[in-house]
Structure 1
Amino acid sequence: MDQRRPPEYTLEVFADPACVKDIIKGILHTIFFHRYFTPISPLTRDLLDTTLPAIDDVDLETLIEARASALVRSLESPSTTAAPTTTTNNTNNRSASPAVNAGGGGGGAAAAAPAMAKSSSPASTSPAAHLAYGQHHHHHQRQLGYGVGVAPLGGPQRGSTGAGGRGQLCVQFFEKRRRKSYFSFGKGEDEVCWESWTIDVTLANPRTDADRVKVRRAMEKSLQKCALKILNIVNRDKDHIPPITTPDSNPFPYHILVNPRTEGWGQRIGIF
């Protein structure tokens, strides 16, 4: 069982410079919402006519902001080869109030709850709106807006090419296992990856008003597709989630890597 390769899921994101950071943050929050097995206070965020879930946790929000910013910098400078950036969380995260169990994907106490859309949200024309909540029915929610619209008519600043750049972000979830050893000095814990999410980002640089309209529609479709894919995965794939041994703190450390392929990130999750 220890040799089994952890599930790897890929999400494809298409965005322009004006929206790319908020789209990345929205997708990361949606993933963590379903993989953060601790009591939380849930939020909602509206982005490109889609309502997405978020977690009211200062530490996690800071990490997501930093990783999204790092990826955006790499996208804006495609000719610059930067070392991959890793963010690791091994500490217990604070619990917000009121407490709501947000363990998704079948691993937490809320796994048996039916899939429900949030009950208090503005009308949306998006088919994916309100769906990213999956199995969670929260009774207390706050709503935050990204305030992101289509790129200005003057056009975003372009990089070295009109097609923009490409980047990648990887989120890995680990469980702690006691290291097996015949010697007392060798005892300890190992982190074993049980799930990995890869976000492939393509940056578009529209040069005309007509192109910006097309890019806007493509971004909306891309975001909706990602939200629905995350929802389908967490509702479908549950058996690989490790046992949860404590309800008071997040039991699973996580790593966030920016452009990990340049370093052979497969070694970090034990598949090579």
Structure 2
Amino acid sequence: AYPPGSVVVPIVEAFERSELDLAYIGLPPAMVGMDRGVDIKCIAGGHMEGTVIVGSAGCASYPDASTLEEVIGQFRGRVVGVPGKGSIHDVILSNSLSRFGLAGDVEVINFRWADEIVDAMKDGTVHGAFGTPALAVAVERYAGGKLIYPAGLLWPHNPSYGILARTGFISEETDIAMRFLALHEEATEVFRNTPEQAADTIASMVGLVDSSYVLDTLGISPKYCAQLTQEYIDSTLEFARAMKTLGYLEGDLTADRIFDRSLIEKVHPQGQHYSVM
């Protein structure tokens, strides 16, 4: 069964029912589906390093707290919030607690929606959280908290999001998939090169936040690209091993099981842009 409360399980289940052909989702929940036998593969990247740690105003922040162990150690005997079980943020939190022997000393609450974490930070129910850059901005603006550990140090090159596709769709609708990937790379280029334009567009479409909120979010971890780099793949495999150790996966997922690079290598033959800003 899928981990209960996973925020993106409906997408994976829709793939399983052949109701979806393509999706932009986090790699760890997708790998849970692959482990179960869902016939999907990652055909492109999207974003790297999309998890940060936030804390209440009294928490020490990096670099004053110079190591990840020191940052997380502040939550001993306290409560940390994180999105649903099986999300990339949940896996990183669980792995970090296990790595530093804190699993029994830090209480974890999985929230279905990020705004619930902001509310819990505001009323003091939780003292810190693992989540997206957008969560970090919301916590700072609305809950009096702050970002205390940056995305690039928490788990370098981690596969925040990518493009997943049914394997049948990849072979049967190759032209459509390639056109989609070309548009996907164009969109990431807007994020990289004209973030102000991207922020204005997103804010006008979403309607719930202003462009400065979106721009602040994009600035926290601006690593957008469609390429599947070796670093992206290696980090994903590291995630797979950690997820098996933590009990999220039963089997061993290989690079060939997770990825199909055949289309993105044609659409995006040049180098990567994750580190080009």
TM-score, L = length of structure 1? 0.24
User: Which is helix-richer, 1 or 2?
Assistant: 2
Structure showing greater radius of gyration is 1
Structure number with higher relative contact order (C-alpha < 8 Å, ≥ 6 residues apart): 1
Larger strand proportion of the pair: 1
